[in-house]
Amino acid sequence: MKHTSITLLTLTAAASIAQAAPATPAYTTSGNVAISSDYVFRGLSQTAGKTAVSAGYDVSHSSGLSAGIWASNVSSALGSLEIDLYAAYGFKVGAVDVSVGYINYTYNTAANGGEANVSATYAGLNLKVSKGVNGTLSDYYYEANYSYDIAQIKGLNLGLHYGNDRASKKDDYAIALNYPVLGFTGSVSYSDIEKGKSITAVSLKKTF
């Protein structure tokens, strides 16, 4: 009887804890702010080699739907301010994470454009195809990205990137090292584009 009583008491307590456990929220949010010595996108500086300050906010639903907004200063040739609006739907195909989305690049004085995209990620390797569908964008951009955590140094991450722009017929490459610094993620990146000049940039980013 004593053993039975203890078992029943244990089961009752476990059931109470299970009932009290909060349910997984349907929506999750995150924000980010960053400062960089140069804003580099697909091998090209967007700030004419000057400092960039950016911020973003994202909302995700448990169904796989997500949306967000991101903004950064850019060069006067691009209109001084860039605001990106984007949405995506993510799902799994076996062990592969698949995402289908859309992003609109908006500038306050320069020409705008939007891209549809599809990507697949497995074991740190991400393959992505983007297609311009409106505004000034109409061609394809292909890219491969690889993220690798270096086990020998806790927190150190290596990022590799290759891209091909069908409109300009140019390839771009990048390598980056990321490491936590005083609650931020510090990054050092080296980017190069075919028939262009290489760019080295450092940045600090905070996600909350």
Q: Residue 3 domain-assigned?
A: no
User: Residue 153: its pLDDT value, please?
Assistant: 96
Which one, of 187, 185, 142, lies nearest residue 40 by Cα? 187
User: Residue 19: its pLDDT value, please?
Assistant: 55
pLDDT < 70 stretches in the chain:
1-22
Q: Residue 18 domain-assigned?
A: no
CATH number of the CATH domain containing 110: 2.40.160.40
Tokens of 28: 């999750």
| Element of type H or E holding 75 | none
Mean pLDDT, the chain, as a whole number?
Answer: 91
Domain that holds residue 121: 26-207
Total domains present in the chain: 1
Residues near 82 by beta carbon (within 8 Å), at least 6 away in sequence: 46, 71, 72, 73, 74, 105, 106, 107
127-165: per-residue pLDDT in tens?
Answer: 999 999 999 899 999 999 999 999 999 999 999 999 999
